[in-house]
Chain A
Amino acid sequence: MSRVRLRGWLRALAWLLCLALLPACDRDDGQRAAQADAQAFSILAGSELKPLEAAIRQAAHGAGVELRFEYAGTLDIVERIEAGEHFDAILPPNGAYPVLALSQPPLAREKLFYSRVALGVKAPLVAALGWDRQAPSWADIAQLAGAGRLRYAMSNPTASNTGMSALFAVASAAAGKSEDLRVEEIDGALLRAFLRGQALTAGSSGWLADAFVREADRLDAMVNYEAVILQTNQRLPADAQLQLIYPRDGVISADYPLMLLNGARRAEYERLVAVLKAAAFQRDAVAAAYLRPSNPDAAPAAALPDTAVAELAFPNRLDVVDAVLAAYQSDWRRPATSILVLDVSGSMAGERLQSVRAALQALAGADAQRASARYARFQPRERVVLITFASEVSAPVQIDFAAGQIASGRDAVLHYAGGLEARGGTAVYDALELAERIGSDERTRDPQRLVSILLLTDGQSNQGLRFEDFRLRQGSQPWVRVFPILYGEGNVAEMQALAELTGGRTFDGRKTALAQVFKDIRGYQ
């Protein structure tokens, strides 16, 4: 009581002080909000948890803990902590990778709920394949995918936990092991066959589900959390409903450990864990979202199968994790053609152009100390097309990262970045039209390639085609996905419309360094 009263007094005094002495008191409310935010218990969480944030906040509030959330993929969570960013706790989907990779082990960890990574397959196909009678093995799935008979959506394993879990499950199953996978046991041929079916990729499991809903016509299946698959079904038409398939050699589940990093906030952490593991939250929020409760007093949703599914072990050595992820990017996955469309109009001069150079240097692999930088840089077999535009569109520069040409490819990107100069107007859609044409030709020439366009512009298109012309001139030709970066004085609404039109998504470069934004987009390429 008395402490509360004292705090009330101090607040009143601060207000008086402010009124008396500071001319800038109008900012008080904003400052107070920022201060409250700075005092909140901060959590860096897996991005698929966003839909649960409101429920978590509410439960925490009831326990007297105010929360501040930021979101990232599992690898990025680890790297941001390692880079010295401050968070009181992390909430990754799977605890294994952070425990192996963090140099300071978490002070406490408590699993909040679970979700298996499963394959959601359209019901008629399940019936046709007889998978409703007997679950397939991963090898069966790989064979179908390799033969072009199973097109599925799966997130990029170097950016997202569902892709990573599925990749390790296939790698283990292919090696005939349920645990303790070693690098030399991995069967690359089977993994390549499996990955031939990856017709849609993404940097996050949530966006993958959104894209699946939009593109369900051309896809047969989706690798995702069972919880996300069941949620997605609510947005899918009757003929596109996904049935949960757990390959019989096993899966790897997410176990959502809340990991305490800041020992000074242990008391709040304990309260938070208690309220999040309480039967009420586990029933009303966890089970309702099709996640599996960690509290046995809360029953899982009836839609979740309770059949025994073999659980495969996550490797216990970081070098195995690293080798598998590196091989995915450089060797097993479908190669990418990445078209980068970059604004070099006058307004980009100075710091902005310097940021673009830094981002390109990062993708060239200039600083590849960190694992995610190694996975994000241009990869063997990748084809990179660089297009700059100002008042006019420059001739595209194509750089192939074919075997034996990796070093020269990187040099070419660095040289290109060094030569960028900014002047003139902004012909966004002339450049995009060219990029779409190149992308479309790429797909025709090599249907195995995953083709996408990154667009960076800091202003309104003021020369050449307008958005409307660009849209109409495409006709019935399928779009190559565009990932526009919101930047500078760019037209936010138009960039969002562009992303939606082409099946891409926007990324915000107004607050985040361009190098980081480029890296995030790499998860989608």
Chain B
Amino acid sequence: MVWLLLGCLLNVAIALLLSPLYEGLLRKMRAAIHSRVGPPVTQPYWDLLKLLGKEDLRSGGGMAYAALPALTLASVLLLATLTPMGAAAPLAFAGDMIVVLYVAGMSAVLIMLSGMTSGSPYGSVGSSREMMMALSVEPALAVSLAVGALKAGTLALGGMVDFQAQNGPSVSMSIAGLAFFLALQAQSGKLPFDIAEADQELMGGPLVEQSGPRLALFRWALWAKQLVLAFLLVEVFLPWPRLGIPVVDLLASGLKVLGVLLLVALIDVVNPRLRIDQAMGYFMRVGLASVSALAFAVIGR
């Protein structure tokens, strides 16, 4: 029980405390590509701190509206406790791969609801776009995790990680990992897929009316989600080398996550935004292509 609580605490702390640091590193890299100096690595922490103290201007009312930011951050942190990070997920007994997929979708739902509740048409348009992105991206996520389930013969993420760590890379898991990576790009709202936020035309989309501490929580949730999903990618598809020493494994995963996120940011910097129909077509093709991973997995490759 104590270990369970400590494990949960560790995963929550990683998601909560390290996600701004990763965001800071990504900003630094983006600045480097732009030939700028860029903000200090700690800037996202200061952003959050400042937002938490600013006046909270609310355009909507009601209990649900008031609870949405906290629930959004909580759903991402719940996802963190269901995701293996260096070791087995602390709450693995409470949710398997399908639960993880649905919980990952939960934060997006809550953000969309906050966009619709705010009463701003920009919020509704942003929510509608966010939903369309989810419709096109989730199949790719689901297929890539299902390939892991098919290979390991279990829906538990821990079982999939162990199988992949023991048996080494395979064709099917490589294709599935690639599909997951492309989906991660959209899930973390990075270019060329930041269609829902679209700062230049929708002014932040679902978050247009959010300010102060509420905005801080939504921002934090988005950063934490990008970190947790990157951990999920690294653990399920790239678990090597796995030494069995939790601290070392965690550090190795952390470094791999940094590599993955830097790649995400690199794609983000060098691409313009796609139109929504282009993005949907793109992910439909990604989803269909990842079905080939299923075929490979069925024949055991």
A and B interact: no
Residue numbers of B with Cβ under 8 A of A are none
Residue numbers of A with Cβ under 8 A of B are none
